[in-house]
Chain A
């Protein structure tokens, strides 16, 4: 229940529920006039000026995850490669994103240099342990405001420079593993519709579960179900798919199991490549971050998605085929250099 308030000097409506002039609060002209003034006052968004107790405070924009409307604005401005990231809880998605960020922070992502990120503090928070709490609700409401309703994704942004001097933008959705589980179990795909703009799909699987005899068959079976869901979801316009097998530092996976997974994908009409990674390492022979540079390198020449469906809010789109135009322009510029 909302308490009625009145900004008129001396009015005790909020405290007593009665207008100091005995007017009906619903029709009181003094109260309504002040409400009109408040409604006409622009609501500050980016640089909110809030009254502190004794001094005014201004606020800068944040660099946490991007909401879909921010992503749309960015994608209308420049061509961005969207990487769809799927994987059940514990597959190692967040650890891989954290490790990618650490590799850049230490200038150890072979073949790449950092150029920019509109979500720098989000990466910083992720590397410090911000993660999904295991439900559709985020662990950190500040970090994941964009996905607070559990239906819209938050995106991470990176601009990298490849050793071939090509600069490109990546958009990486930071999704809870439960979204993949519910895609498999309940075919909940509506909130993943943005994936249809993805140039590349990374499907994460915990390498330990593929290695362990007690979990291997279940894991392969669940991957097979996921492949089937993906093939139906994307139809003919399926993007390039990489199976990212984590925990490379701890396990070695028999090729026959990987072959079985590859064949499963083929049976649903698409092929996959496999990349093993060690986001962290407890093994002196494997460097932390191993395999991640190859994962990113594979994105450099990935072609544009056939779908523009992520640009859901058509009012914001400058014109048809915006992404194709930006992609074309980017490549023309790259060749001109």
Chain B
């Protein structure tokens, strides 16, 4: 029976599934401090998504909502000896998108949410599906027209979705009595796509620049601990032929990294995708 449950939240194309796939490979490689303990019985789902990465392809966006997509594994930290049994349900991004739009979610997923002990929130850098806030020209046109039939065509801006998802977490997780504060890791995925200037500024500044409302909101959380990370599951883009060739030739365990804030405030690039999970489990203070 898992004693920890990490809920994974994010809009479609935010990088959730590929992160879980890469996490499984990293835990199983036993090259990093956080490792799998006893092999899980059912690994069909994580194996199915990890296969894409092993074949040098990203896992495609999943379309079916109701397929059971869970990752249930025992992990142990080699440094501290801490052990945990974790359940990571990978809920389809369309469900979260719909939840923000309608405030409704199937009760089985709500149970997963309220039963979670911590959460990962994903947003993908430079995703074509990221929706920018309205500009003044469009807003003026809409104001003049009034709220009409075009309402459905207007997508909710990504930063608003993220704040709403965070609010859902705050309302669901904090209410349950817990002995420790809930931890939330915000992951900016596809970090390798950013240019050098953006990359050097770190994930918090990236959020400030791209999603200022969300960046402000996470500074106002009183009852949960929040940490921002950048992530690149394989360290590059499989659409680039040279990268793919190098990835296939080299040890895939060496690919991918996390951008994490050190205690001195600087951002470090670390070749260990499990770092956010260690932090969520309370094993590391980052």
Name A residues whose Cβ lies closer than 8 Å to a Cβ of B: 46-47, 49, 55-63, 94-95, 98-99, 102, 104-107, 113-116, 120-121, 124-125, 127-131, 133, 139-140, 159, 161, 167, 280-281, 288-289
Contact = CB atoms under 8 A, between A and B. Distances in A.
Contact of A63 (B105, B110, B167): B167
Contacts of B160: 120-121, 124
Contacts of B213: 104-105, 114, 120
Nearest to A115: B220
A138 to B, nearest CB: 10
14 contacts: A56-B107, A60-B99, A60-B168, A61-B167, A98-B139, A107-B208, A113-B212, A114-B216, A115-B220, A116-B216, A129-B143, A139-B147, A159-B220, A281-B136
B172 to A, nearest CB: 8
Interface in B150-181: 151, 154, 156-157, 159-160, 163-164, 167-168, 171
B67 interface: no
A57 B105 contact: yes
B110 to A, nearest CB: 4
By CB atoms of chain B within 10 A, which of A63, A114, A130, A131 has the most? A114
* Nearest 3 pairs of A and B residues by beta carbon: A129-B142, A107-B212, A58-B110
Interface centre among B145, B168, B212, B213 (most CB of A within 10 A): B213
B156 A124 contact: yes
Nearest to A108: B212
A125 B148 CA distance: 11
Q: Is the interface of B mostly helix, strand, loop or mixed?
A: helix
Contacts of A130: 147
B40 interface: no
B157 A129 contact: no
Nearest to A61: B171
Nearest to B160: A124
A121 B164 contact: yes
A128 B220 contact: no
A305 B181 CA distance: 37
Nearest to A143: B147
B282 interface: no
B63 interface: no
A92 to B, nearest CB: 10
A115 B139 CA distance: 22
Contacts, number: 119
B212 A114 contact: yes
B163 A128 contact: no
A49 B107 contact: yes
Contact of A56 (B106, B135, B148, B219): B106
Contacts of B246: none
Contacts of A281: 136
Contacts of A133: 146
A280 B141 CA distance: 10
Contact of A289 (B106, B134, B136, B147): B136
Contacts of B110: 47, 58
A31 B236 CA distance: 67
B212 A58 contact: no
B133 interface: yes
Contacts of B103: 59-62
Given A104-B212, A139-B146, 19 more contacts: A46-B171, A57-B107, A58-B104, A58-B106, A58-B110, A60-B103, A60-B171, A61-B171, A63-B164, A116-B216, A121-B160, A124-B160, A128-B134, A128-B142, A128-B151, A129-B145, A129-B146, A131-B147, A280-B140
B217 interface: yes
A131 B143 contact: yes
A235 B91 CA distance: 58
Interface string B110-154: 100000000000000000000001111101101111111001001
Contacts of A105: 133-134, 157, 159, 212-213
A128 B152 CA distance: 11
A37 to B, nearest CB: 22
A194 B143 CA distance: 27
Contacts of A47: 110
Given A115-B220, A131-B143, A102 B104 contact: no
B104 A98 contact: no
Contact of A98 (B108, B143, B156): B143
A46 B168 CA distance: 12
A62 B104 CA distance: 10
Contacts of A125: 147
A156 B208 CA distance: 24
Contacts of B212: 104-107, 113-114
A62 B99 CA distance: 11
A147 to B, nearest CB: 15
Contacts of A106: 133, 135, 212
Nearest to A139: B147
Contacts of B140: 95, 280
Interface string B187-210: 000000000000000000000100
B217 A114 contact: yes
